A and B are shown apart, each in its own frame.
Chain A
Amino acid sequence: MTENTGHLEALMMQSLKGDQRAYAALLQETSRLLRPFLSRRLSAASEVDDLLQEILLSIHKARHTYDGLRPYKPWAYAIARFRLQDFLRAHYADQLRHAVDFDELEETLPEYVTEPAMSYESIEREVQKLPDKQASILQLMHQDGYTSREVAEKMGMNESAVKVAAHRAYKLLRKKLER
């Protein structure tokens, strides 16, 4: 453990001197170190990957604040924790912003319970007028029957982003159909 820690400091010192190989090795070691830390705190693998990329970018930006004279791990973890907090704050703020109010839900609930009065085909033309990404998401989910996770994989997005985009699309559609 100590040997590995010393190794990281040495790699960082070499990186600060412009050694590209040492820097690549350091970033690889760092991502190996941080992945389990993030996986324990985030459920979706895509979120772990996104955040890990952001942390590596932050480490790159802040590398001048490390002098090689103190342990590397606490420095890297401080940045990781900072970005994780940022991510969670934004994530929950986004969820709150897009949370459906119960009153709003009551208004939009259709009278029927078991059978939808509207099929995808009947509103397809309106769906096509939506922004491309939203239209594709709705098409994949409601015409082709994919789940939001499958849509996320197909479109290279994370699942929560797909849900958010779909929710926005529903809102837009509702406005259009109400006119």
Chain B
Amino acid sequence: MENIQELINTLSADTRVVKPAPHPFMLSLKWMGMAALYLAVSLAVSGLRPDWAAKLHSPWFIAEMATLLIVFITTTFSAALLSFPDMHQRDRLVYAPLAAFALFVLVMFFAWRADSPPSPLPVHSIECTLSIMLMALLPAGWTLYAMRRYASTHSGAAGSVALLSAFSVGALWLRLYEETDSIVHVIERHYLPMLVIGIVGMWLGKKILKW
């Protein structure tokens, strides 16, 4: 008891004006803005896929991009909420990526059914996964670095959504850059690795977001 009182005295003597952290909504907007800028610069450097104008008329491509964007937005918002010890008391919103992923899977299923006869597989394979991962390195780094300034009590989940958010930036870039129409290839090499990334993020989060 005496120790507690001593500690309270020390901590209160040590206190000063503290600027509260921004609202998770603003925090995620900032991260999304940075990611959008990064994506725009990357596309300006790499260039858009040559058939991008025709792709704007492909409903399943648009649906895929829109749901991937929703995955990115929800994972970023979830990462921002998970940076706070009490998840800013918005526990349910943390699970928003699950709904986004369900929608995304549904869209990919219909896109796969619509891809008939199937488009030919590209000659490359794993390069796509590696390119997305390479592209995601920077956003993953800055998001995890930014999250370390807060105090996550769910570090595994926080790391997982942070990495998924970064990976979706990479996936968006590759779909807008690479001229591939094979949905089987896209599912297998672009999106299925997300499962592994989620698990890696969980492990990384536990290591990096400790406080």
Contact = CB atoms under 8 A, between A and B. Distances in A.
Interface of A: 15-21, 23-24, 27-28, 31, 49, 52-53, 56-58, 60-68, 70-71, 74-75, 77-79, 81-82
Interface of B: 1, 3-4, 7-9, 11-21, 23, 83-89, 150-151, 153, 211
Given A60-B14, A67-B23, A71-B89, 12 more contacts: A16-B20, A18-B15, A23-B15, A28-B8, A52-B4, A60-B15, A65-B84, A65-B151, A74-B86, A75-B86, A75-B89, A79-B151
B20 A64 contact: yes
A62 B11 contact: no
A17 B16 CA distance: 7
Nearest to A71: B89
A82 B209 CA distance: 13
10 interchain residue pairs of minimum CB distance: A62-B151, A24-B12, A82-B153, A78-B86, A67-B20, A18-B17, A75-B86, A23-B12, A27-B8, A78-B85
A165 B23 CA distance: 46
**Interface majority SS (helix, strand, loop, mixed), chain B:** loop
Nearest to A72: B86
Contact of A64 (B13, B18, B89): B18
A66 B24 CA distance: 11
B195 to A, nearest CB: 26
Contact of A27 (B11, B16, B18): B11
Contacts of B18: 15-16, 18, 63-64
A27 B88 CA distance: 21
Contacts of A64: 18-21, 150
